[in-house]
Amino acid sequence: MNQMLKAKSRIALGLVLAMTAAAPAYAMELNQSQWLTLMQQIRTDKADEGAPLWVSVRVINADVPGWALTFSQRAIPKIHMPAQTMTFPVTDATHLSMLRKGDPVEIEVAKNKGVVRIIDIHMRH
């Protein structure tokens, strides 16, 4: 079962990479799952597939009532990912009110029950 899941993940990643290489404008339209799959390919901690992932981003908007964080990320040429802005739901909105536009933060992202969410946020100073 695990081998089949890995094979499907590789096929999905191949399709995403092919689409981003063939049409860079389309890459800006990655959904949250596609983004997470690509980001896991370059993780440095060699964690198991599906383990939470830490990413450095800049805050664009912290939507406290909507339990969501909009962030920007620099381009990552290694995986053909352009600079982009994305919005992810958060599991805990407690600290969102402390964030301001432009703040550099580390977000921990994981997929749980089919939904990619920010599960932790660390402010960088």
Tokens of 116: 């990619």
Tokens of 38: 């690509």
pTM of structure? 0.68
- Residue closest to 15 by CA, chosen among 38, 46, 40, 49: 38
Tokens of 61: 């908007």
- Strand locations in the chain, DSSP E? 53-63, 68-73, 84-89, 104-112, 115-123
Instruction: Please give the chain's pLDDT, 125 residues, in tens.
Output: 556 545 555 554 454 444 444 444 444 577 888 888 888 877 776 677 667 788 899 999 999 999 999 999 988 887 788 889 999 999 999 989 999 999 999 999 988 888 889 999 999 87
Run of H or E including 109: strand 104-112
- Residue closest to 69 by CA, chosen among 124, 120, 125, 33: 120
The half-sphere exposure of 34 on its side-chain side, counting CA atoms within 13 A, is 18
